[in-house]
Structure 1
Amino acid sequence: MKNKIVSNVIVPFAVCFLIALALYPSTILNPEEYSTDGLELSFDAPKNIAMADKKAKTSNQKVFTPYLGKSFEAFKEALAFKESQGDYFVVNTFGYLGKYQFGRETLKMIGIYNPSHFLKTPELQEKAFIANAKRNKWILRKDIERFVGKTIAGVEITESGILAAAHLAGAGSVKKFLRSYGKMNFADGYGSTVRYYMKRFAGYDTSIIKPEKRAKATI
């Protein structure tokens, strides 16, 4: 009889307590006072949710891969990777600077006179790339009109190939290559040639670049 009385009192009390706990948790636990200080925590997620398995490439599972196609952004990033592997802060053995490996004289032509500041400023480097492309497109505008679509030295000539080669060797060297039909093929200190850049960077959409005679880079 005593056990029955205890059961009749305690069980309903326990049920009421649990209901109150569910309905009013803030009265029991204050999140601002909760701390993980001193606890041993692990942030390692299980492999199956932390990353895509290599086998996913051959299964029906879709794996996201950024792909820029032949857009201007793709052109810019592909050229940057060839020049410096995309490193804004690198200086090569010939003294060329930054993500797109600019020479000091070229920088002066687009209004940049402080190489140290240029090297520390990614935004300025991006502006410099655009300004230089605009300037080269203006210088080479007649050659672009004349030679795009033709095949020279086994390479189909495209506007993006011309602009990439001009970035490597200067507009003058590109004119010599085109007008000599590939006989004058400038190579830089590492052996990269106008012809190679014409082929490697062919077919990108560079229509966003408008020819500008006195293009400058400013931020």
Structure 2
Amino acid sequence: MIKKWHFYSTLLLIIAFLSSGFKPFNLDSNPWFLTDGTDESDYLFPSQKQEDYAKLNIPFTGNFFIGYKEAIAFKESQGKYRKINSLGYLGKYQFGPETLRTIGVYNTTSFLRNPDLQEKAFLALLAKNKWLLRNEIEKYEGAVINGIHITESGILAAAHLGGVRSVKRYFRSNGERYFRDAYGTSIRSYMKAFGGYDTSFIEPDADATVLKN
């Protein structure tokens, strides 16, 4: 009887020990991206300053494109590929159906179920917007307008939020007029939060579609 009790006790201890080593990774305690919740412009991560990561279990991406696209995705949808917001915008990067059609996507149901297609769509829209805003990028990159340091990545992020026309209007008004979406987010805040990333490899393409990516 004592031997049986000893056997089962030992077995339970072994199971408990092994189980403790295979606890699921807790994403909530290891966030990739953080905001302080006080103002739309106070967007903390990804940061381009390596020292900001000293006490966090978050990979440092610097100004690389991976940090850029994932930061925009988190702001848009918390990075959820199947997210549909209250206005009908779709996916990880929150595309409108009309915008999707301009880059060759017509089936929104399939689009939501296809992460690879969503990534291709993001690249295609960047390429198209870079072509449409090529003059603004050439003219204003490096300038400071209404307190915002203008960069190519910031311009492209602003266009993702508010469209090309809104970005053009922003520059024509010297930063005085700027679009806000239905939730109050402005293209000015996107231009600031997502400025300084490397988008140089994106080739401007007036006819960019998902088929080219």
Name the SS for the 1:44 alignment partner: helix
Q: Which of 91, 97, 101 does residue 94 from structure 2 map onto?
A: 101
CA gap 1:193/1:131 in 2 versus in 1, 3 angstroms: same
- Structure 1: 4+ residue segments shifted above 4 A: none
- Give CA deviations for 1:22-52 in whole Å, capped at 9, x if unaligned: xxxxxxxxxxxxxxxxx64232347xxx99x
Tell me what 1:74 maps to. Answer: 67
Question: Percent identity among equivalent residues?
Answer: 53
- Give CA deviations for 1:126-167 in whole Å, capped at 9, x if unaligned: 000000000000000010000001111110100000000000
Q: Which of 173, 182, 189 does residue 175 from structure 2 map onto?
A: 182
Residues 1:129 and 2:135 are matched in the alignment? no
- Give CA deviations for 1:87-140 in whole Å, capped at 9, x if unaligned: 001100000000000000000000000001001100000000000000000000
Alpha-carbon RMSD = 2.1
CA gap 1:127/1:183 in 2 versus in 1, 3 angstroms: same
Tell me what 2:52 maps to. Answer: none
Q: Which of 166, 169, 189 does residue 162 from structure 2 map onto?
A: 169
Alignment partners' CA distance in 1, 2:137 and 2:56: 39
Tell me what 1:158 maps to. Answer: 151
**Following TM superposition, by how much is the alpha carbon of 1:180 offset from its aligned partner in structure 2, in angstroms?**
1.2
TM-score, normalised via structure 2 length: 0.75
Tell me what 1:147 maps to. Answer: 140
Residues 1:203 and 2:196 are matched in the alignment? yes
Name the SS for the 2:70 alignment partner: helix
Of the structure 1 ranges 120-129 and 180-189, higher mean CA displacement relative to structure 2 is found in 180-189
Tell me what 1:27 maps to. Answer: none
- Give CA deviations for 1:32-73 in whole Å, capped at 9, x if unaligned: xxxxxxx64232347xxx99xxxxxxxxxx986411111011
The aligned amino acid for 1:94 is L
Name the SS for the 1:69 alignment partner: coil
Structure exhibiting the larger radius of gyration computed from Cα positions: 1
**Following TM superposition, by how much is the alpha carbon of 1:208 offset from its aligned partner in structure 2, in angstroms?**
1.4
Q: Which of 75, 86, 91 does residue 79 from structure 2 map onto?
A: 86
Report the count of equivalent residues. Answer: 169
- Kept in 2, the 8 Å contact 1:72–1:208? The answer is no
Q: Which of 44, 48, 68 does residue 19 from structure 2 map onto?
A: 44
Alignment partners' CA distance in 1, 2:20 and 2:139: 58
CA gap 1:140/1:65 in 2 versus in 1, 3 angstroms: same
- Give CA deviations for 1:159-190 in whole Å, capped at 9, x if unaligned: 00000000001111101101211122000001
- Kept in 2, the 8 Å contact 1:118–1:125? The answer is yes
Runs of 5+ consecutive residues of structure 2 not aligned to the other structure: 1-10, 27-54
Tell me what 1:14 maps to. Answer: none
